[in-house]
Amino acid sequence: MSAAYGGNEQALIDPTVLHPFLLFAQRYAFYPNESSFERIAYMNAIIIVETGEGHLHMDNRDYPMKAGTLVYIPAGKMHRWRAAQSEPMIHRTAYFDWNPRQRPFVSEGQFFHILSLHSAPLSVYMDEEPAIRIEPITKIDNLPLWLSYHNRFLTMPGRIGGADMREAIRLRGEFQVFLSLFLSNTSKDASNNGDPRIKELLKLVASQAEIEEQELVQYAEQIGLKRSRFYALFREETGLSPKHYMTRRKLQRIKCDLRQSDVTITQIAEKYGYSSIHVLSKNFRKHIGLTPSEYRRQSRM
């Protein structure tokens, strides 16, 4: 199952086209034994445990929380918090999109979907994940440094994106400095691990408007990687097979076209090499959970 609720797969965003957008950031103190509902968020979350203890239930595991724990929860990931009785947690939170999205939300609570409700979350409002492998749980050493960075973009409760243009720009700038620190500590791509040849191939993929799996295999052969070795290294680096990776990348581009342009779905099918609109619709629904028409309609509500 992917990060998305119900197994619908999110298309990966090329890191070179990211424009991280801060929605809101707060300091939240839990009550003793406080427990949240099992929920998902439409946006991504970075959480620092400032003080106290508790647990995070995610990925069918219970993660113990204590001061200095750094947590990343991608959009669509099911999770539930539980605070300790004696020393309940205090969280520093930052909720954001990797790329700005339009949603008809006016309050912070609307960005969360409680899984006990009968209605399903709307995938069209779900942020998309970047092609970056981020550790969900890490331990930070210099907690005061992290808190000082977080203090610079704390927002008033109920205020989304900043009160005016100047404040919004300042908050986003401060958040992006914090995000850079976060990625340097949690992103596997930030380390020196992994085969540099795969990293170069991923850069090639990011630089191309369209590239097919077979072309990628041919490039790998040109730099001395046999097919079986290439597939193993690619999965190790990205967590996906080349075919799966390229499919998700193509779907992300199709979703952008559906949201941001008025070209017909037939034209989109032709643009991305589908033999017919029916083949595109079947593939899109399989991975996204909606037909292209449904996705376009929901994205413009």
Structure tokens at 230: 């290439």
Q: Please tell me whether residue 94 adopts helix, strand or coil conformation.
A: strand
By the 8 A CB rule, do 13 and 255 touch? no
Q: Please tell me whether residue 42 adopts helix, strand or coil conformation.
A: coil
Neighbours of 42 (CB within 10 A): 24
By the 8 A CB rule, do 279 and 250 touch? no
State residue 16's pLDDT score: 56
For the sheet with 112-114, list strands across it: 61-65, 54-58, 79-83, 39-41, 112-114
The DSSP call for residue 159 is: -
State residue 205's pLDDT score: 78
By the 8 A CB rule, do 110 and 44 touch? no
* Domain positions in the chain: 5-190, 196-299
State residue 118's pLDDT score: 64
- Residues linked to residue 47 through DSSP beta bridges, in sequence order: 71, 93
State residue 9's pLDDT score: 41
Contacts for 200 with CB less than 8 Å, ≥ 6 apart: 223
State residue 7's pLDDT score: 36
Q: What is the pLDDT of residues 183-223, one digit of tens each?
A: 989 986 544 566 788 888 887 777 766 777 888 888 888 88
State residue 113's pLDDT score: 86
Structure tokens at 238: 């990205």
The DSSP call for residue 129 is: P
Structure tokens at 247: 């499919």
CA distance 37 to 48: 20
Neighbours of 71 (CB within 10 A): 22
Neighbours of 139 (CB within 10 A): 11
Contacts for 119 with CB less than 8 Å, ≥ 6 apart: none
Residues of the chain scoring pLDDT < 50: 1-11, 190-191
State residue 187's pLDDT score: 83
CATH of 5-190, one of 1.20.1560.10, 2.60.120.280, 2.40.30.60, 1.10.132.20: 2.60.120.280
CATH level 2 (architecture), domain 196-299: Orthogonal Bundle (1.10)
